[in-house]
Amino acid sequence: MDWDETCDVLVVGSGAGGVTGAYAAAREGLSVILVESSDRFGGISAYSGGGMWLPGNAVLRRGGGDADLASARDYYHTLVGDRTPRALQDAYLDTGAELIDYLEQDPHFAFIVYPWPDYFGSVRNASATGRHIMPAPLPAAELGPLRAALRPNLGEEREGVPLAEELWMGQALIGRFLLALSKRPNATLRLNAKLTELIREGDRVTGAIISGPDGVRRIHARRGVLIAAGGFEHNAEMRARFGVPGEVAGAMSPPSNDGTAISAGMAIGADVDLMDQAWWSPGLLRPNGRATFTLGFDGGIFVNQDGQRFMNESIPYDRGGREIIALMKRGALRLPFWLVYDDRDGGMPPIQYPNQPIGDIARYRTAGLLRSGATLAELATAIGVPAEALAATVARFNTLVEDGADADFGRGVEPYDRMFTEDRLPMDRIARPPFHAIAFGLSDLGTKGGLRTDPDAQVLDKSGAVIHGLYATGNSMAAVSGTAYPGGGNPVGSSMVFAYRAARHMGRAEI
Ligand SMILES: Cc1cc2nc3c(=O)[nH]c(=O)nc-3n(C[C@H](O)[C@H](O)[C@H](O)COP(=O)(O)OP(=O)(O)OC[C@H]3O[C@@H](n4cnc5c(N)ncnc54)[C@H](O)[C@@H]3O)c2cc1C
């Protein structure tokens, strides 16, 4: 092969997994090239809360969080079952604490406990406070010129809200890695550089073809290539081929999460799994046609085309998304459905955490996504549902509120449901006119099917044999959590863990 360039480790993508892999490989003394296909570093991880579900870690222990690894293991195994290999699950569970110890040895990293209840609060050993940590905030000024290369958050990128002077959450996570990487001369990070093809020689991937500002380059990776290129949620053809519910308009990631790197893996013989899966959420429909990840419903009810309530509105978002999908598959729910609420907040919907600012509510009305009525009957006409049914649904809901318990859908039973209401039942009577309804669809936080790996993130072929020199993590990897979303911080936490394991493995690899 006629190579243009050589490194030890080629990392593809700069989300949580990519920057972790690049950092760990560089710290192990390997020469690293990271290529990012878009014009900013960070991927959807830069939009994210930056939360990490890493049980038993030192930050939880010091901060009084739930640091019991044995109970976390039991909870995780119960939920994920045998949908993914037990050894893969244990690699995730057993490496999180080690990864945090490793990062905390470097002054660029600092973490805080951020209590966030596990997502299946009724399953044995679920934690009411979670096993969840976040990066400590980072003054944006510390990034210097790197700030312009960091993907902004959703508020700035999609709504034009200026970035704060202090970076939080996913911004702080990626920012801290970019700073740490900038001190490692053996790591080179490139924007607008896209992996289009992997090169396999015999049983080994030896490099990749990267298309960038300087044209097409063949990069030789002596130890390996780590695919950390996110999911394929922006690829309509792949979504249709693999049967991923929802649409591109509901994808929260930047458009560059297009599945090219996963396809490149498949083209050289890699096996894939969980290809119809994503991390889902009910999605607030925006005037620009997008459905966006929304959580923290502290009032209102979802109603279907028959004017009936159909789920616990405060349930963890992925469970909510999966209920919506199941109902749609049975023909019991059509999109859009509506969040019905009253005027106690002057027409603003009872949403504590829209993830990107709701913005000017009048735009939703103009787009037909927000409708109102002086009476419930008028609202029913406005959204095209039977008036008697809507009146009966609201009357029933108001009775449940007065009873202090949701006997129909169990809203408020689990700790997560109450986390946005300071432990209060997240339900208020719908009684103060005028009445409003805002439209909802299905959103996703990324697909989670991808290249099948072993516990060191080495990609496997269809016979289960390792393809040497090829690694995958994050949403490019068939998720360790299978079809479950056990708790906030699973996507980012597991992406970082398998990237770290891949880098350490490449550090030990014989070439
Ligand atoms: C608002 C919001 C909040 C969230 N909060 C949390 C949270 O707190 N905790 C949590 O665990 N999860 C959270 N999630 C989900 C989480 O952000 C993602 O699932 C996770 O960050 C995916 O990380 P990743 O490592 O797979 O890579 P990504 O962040 O998806 O990054 C992949 C990168 O690869 C690049 N790329 C793609 N193809 C190529 C190619 N061919 N060549 C080169 N580069 C390529 C992309 O441009 C992108 O920059 C949240 C999501 C959203 C939208």
Q: Could you report the per-residue pLDDT of 339-378, keeping only the tens digit for each?
A: 999 999 999 999 999 999 999 999 999 999 999 999 999 9
As a whole number of Å, the end-to-end CA separation of the chain is: 17
**Using CB atoms within 10 A of its CB, is residue 185 exposed (0-12), middle (13-18) or buried (19+)?**
exposed
Residue with CA closest to ligand 1 atom 48: 43
Report pLDDT for 1. Answer: 81
Residue with CA closest to ligand 1 atom 19: 491
Dump pLDDT digits (tens) for 142-179: 999 999 999 999 999 988 888 789 999 999 999 999 99
The 10 Å Cβ neighbour count of residue 121 is: 18
CA angle 156, 160, 166 (to 5 degrees): 40
Whether 103 lines ligand 1, by a CB cut-off of 6 Å, is no
pLDDT classification of 318: cutoffs 50, 70, 90 = very high
Residue 76 structure tokens:
């995780």
Top pLDDT among 197 and 160 is at 197
Query: In which region does residue 274 sit, left (phi positive, over 0), alpha (psi from -120 to 50) or beta (all else)?
Result: left
**Which has the closest alpha carbon to 46: 167, 143, 159?**
167
Whether 51 lines ligand 1, by a CB cut-off of 6 Å, is yes
Report pLDDT for 44. Answer: 98
Whether 150 lines ligand 1, by a CB cut-off of 6 Å, is no
Alpha carbon of 161 to ligand 1 centroid (Å)? 21
Taking each helix axis as running N to C, give the angle between helix 16-27 and helix 169-182, from 0 to 180 degrees, rounded to the nearest 10. Answer: 30
Residue with CA closest to ligand 1 atom 47: 256
Average model confidence (pLDDT) for the chain? 97
Whether 295 lines ligand 1, by a CB cut-off of 6 Å, is no
- d(CA 274, CA 236) in angstroms, rounded, equals 17
Alpha carbon of 43 to ligand 1 centroid (Å)? 5
Whether 172 lines ligand 1, by a CB cut-off of 6 Å, is no
Whether 355 lines ligand 1, by a CB cut-off of 6 Å, is yes
For 475-483, what is the mean pLDDT?
98
Whether 490 lines ligand 1, by a CB cut-off of 6 Å, is yes
C-alpha dihedral over 225, 229, 230, 233, to 10 degrees? -130
Whether 446 lines ligand 1, by a CB cut-off of 6 Å, is yes
Question: What ligand 1 atom has the least distance to the C-alpha of 448?
Answer: 19
CA angle 88, 34, 23 (to 5 degrees): 60
325: Cβ contacts below 8 Å, ≥ 6 apart: 245, 246, 280, 442
**Which has the closest alpha carbon to 426: 284, 295, 338, 300?**
300
* Residue 40, CA distances (Å) to 292, 450, 464 in order: 21, 23, 35
Alpha carbon of 44 to ligand 1 centroid (Å)? 4
Alpha carbon of 45 to ligand 1 centroid (Å)? 4
Whether 229 lines ligand 1, by a CB cut-off of 6 Å, is yes
Question: What ligand 1 atom has the least distance to the C-alpha of 494?
Answer: 11
Report pLDDT for 369. Answer: 98
CA atoms within a 13 Å half-sphere pointing along the CA-CB vector of 481: 27
Question: What ligand 1 atom has the least distance to the C-alpha of 45?
Answer: 21
Question: What ligand 1 atom has the least distance to the C-alpha of 496?
Answer: 25
98: Cβ contacts below 8 Å, ≥ 6 apart: none
Residue with CA closest to ligand 1 atom 41: 195
Question: What ligand 1 atom has the least distance to the C-alpha of 495?
Answer: 25
4: Cβ contacts below 8 Å, ≥ 6 apart: 217, 218, 219
**Which has the closest alpha carbon to 432: 324, 331, 345, 309?**
345
Alpha carbon of 253 to ligand 1 centroid (Å)? 7
Rg over CA atoms, the chain? 23
Cis, bond preceding 434 (omega within 30 deg of 0): yes
Report pLDDT for 510. Answer: 66
For 396-425, what is the mean pLDDT?
97
**Which has the closest alpha carbon to 133: 158, 103, 162?**
103
34: Cβ contacts below 8 Å, ≥ 6 apart: 10, 11, 12, 13, 14, 18, 19, 22, 181, 187, 188, 189, 190
**Which has the closest alpha carbon to 371: 400, 402, 347, 396?**
347
User: Residue 41 above 80 pLDDT?
Assistant: yes
Report pLDDT for 511. Answer: 59
Alpha carbon of 16 to ligand 1 centroid (Å)? 7
Q: Residue type for 177, please?
A: F
Contact 434, 461 (CB under 8 A): no
Contact 95, 393 (CB under 8 A): no
- Per DSSP, the three-state class of 6 is strand
Alpha carbon of 36 to ligand 1 centroid (Å)? 12
Whether 497 lines ligand 1, by a CB cut-off of 6 Å, is no
User: Residue 509 above 80 pLDDT?
Assistant: no
Question: What ligand 1 atom has the least distance to the C-alpha of 196?
Answer: 41
Alpha carbon of 477 to ligand 1 centroid (Å)? 12
331: Cβ contacts below 8 Å, ≥ 6 apart: none
Residue 11, H or E segment: strand 5-12
Give backbone dihedrals phi and psi of 159, rounded to 5 degrees, phi first.
-125, 0
The 10 Å Cβ neighbour count of residue 465 is: 12
Report pLDDT for 439. Answer: 98
Whether 494 lines ligand 1, by a CB cut-off of 6 Å, is no
Percent of the chain beyond pLDDT 90?
96
pTM above 0.95, yes or no: yes
For 223-242, what is the mean pLDDT?
98
- d(CA 422, CA 444) in angstroms, rounded, equals 27
Question: What ligand 1 atom has the least distance to the C-alpha of 20?
Answer: 25
- d(CA 267, CA 313) in angstroms, rounded, equals 42
Report pLDDT for 213. Answer: 86
Residue with CA closest to ligand 1 atom 4: 48
Report pLDDT for 393. Answer: 98
**Which has the closest alpha carbon to 281: 234, 316, 244?**
316
Alpha carbon of 496 to ligand 1 centroid (Å)? 11
Alpha carbon of 252 to ligand 1 centroid (Å)? 9
Residue with CA closest to ligand 1 atom 50: 48
Whether 354 lines ligand 1, by a CB cut-off of 6 Å, is no
Alpha carbon of 124 to ligand 1 centroid (Å)? 30
Whether 13 lines ligand 1, by a CB cut-off of 6 Å, is yes
Report pLDDT for 159. Answer: 87
Residue 386 structure tokens:
């039977």
187: Cβ contacts below 8 Å, ≥ 6 apart: 22, 23, 25, 26, 31, 32, 33, 34, 181
